Amino acid sequence: MLYRENRKNGQLLSQLAFGCMRLPRRGGGFDAETARNLLEHAIDQGVNYFDTAWMYPGNEVLVGKLLKPHRAQINIATKLPISLVKRASDFDKYFQQSLEHLQTEYIDYYLLHMLTSFDAYRRFVDMGLLEWAEREKERGRIRNFGFSFHGGPGQFKRIIDDYDWDFCMIQYNYLDTERQAGTAGLLHAVDKGMPVMVMEPLRGGKLAKVPPAAQQVFDAVVPGRTPAEWGLRWVWNHPEALTVLSGMSTIDQLNANLQLASEAQAGALAADELRAIAEARAVIAEGIRVPCTGCEYCLPCPQGVLIPTAFSYYNGDGIKGSKPDRLLYLAYMGAFPSKPGFASQCTACGACVRHCPQNIDIPRELESVTRELERFWSKPAARIAKRFMKGE
């Protein structure tokens, strides 16, 4: 296992981190024995960073039980479910529950879960979030405080610049260099001295299988190398990525990733390998319907439409032939945000068009998003989901 130094606290973290959200399941619950074997094998092979979240049903409890015998030699990351926070006392409420679930007295890396905008973040700051976090750090119950991010690059930089964070986690892979935080956000965070953990290096597994034309590009350079290996090596090629989360649910996946993590070093990809990835990216990107880069110049929308987010889910995985995920669209446009931002809220006022550097006819494209991703039940379902998450 290769390790990278967290220059903010001096820790050496395994460059492969275990994302526990996808631990194996059987029947209606977890396959606890297989999960135990996976986690213990990972620890034996040097993995020392394990990521879970309050929002993953039952996951913290299982992870806490399985990792308890190894607590002193590993780092546990979990997340505050900010979509459920209604008052300042909820910070303590959900944090304490996580401690109990995980059977631990402290969290090594504690994150705000799924920040999408600066305004949403500031709402929690106004509740006293940062003072609360500082108190918990002084008590030793939070070792490092950060956030995971799912918004656009402009919002990411504003959040980064507002506070002296200990770390952050972003989605990053060779398709998402200009989406969400992107390469610009990654470099900005590192310039500010902030360690960056990477999630979704394979786009939730979507980059583990690429179109035949993209695979041909890869095979012409390194025959037999799997798409998953190409994707992981690309992320590890970036010295700015402190550790890379992978959601592994089988021993074969784990062993393949362990082997890679023992040899893939920053800056190791050759010029022809980087060219192959660029060519494959272009092939895969043919499936992108709207050329939105997520710059957010179109925001704020007078009607509250989350324009870049709408296009992100309309574009699906950005893989030719893939279909957009209607449930993810519903969640990130209606259930998770403080206010809904559905494409159908557009009134075609045109304010966004004047600011779009890609010259996208945004109202027309939002009509397409509405036709494909929204149904008569979308908004009521989002309201019900939001009330459920709030415990109402």
pLDDT digit string (tens) for 163-191? 999 999 999 999 889 878 999 999 999 99
Mean pLDDT in residue range 340-357? 91
pTM of the model: 0.81
Closest to 60 (Cα-Cα) out of 13, 34, 99: 99
Mean pLDDT of the 262-283 span: 97
Distance of CA 200 to the CA centre of its chain: 6
Least confident of 46-60, 81-95, 289-303, 361-375: 289-303
202-223 pLDDT tens trace: 987 778 888 899 999 999 999 9
Average pLDDT over residues 272-290: 90
Share of the chain above pLDDT 70, in %: 97
**Domain map of the chain by residue range?**
3-279, 288-389
pLDDT at 388 over 80: no
What residues contact residue 98 under an 8 Å CB cut-off, 6+ apart? Answer: 54, 60, 78, 80, 107
* pLDDT value for 178: 85
Q: How would CATH label the architecture of 3-279?
A: Alpha-Beta Barrel (3.20)
Question: What's residue 139's pLDDT?
Answer: 98
What average pLDDT does range 124-133 have in this prediction?
98
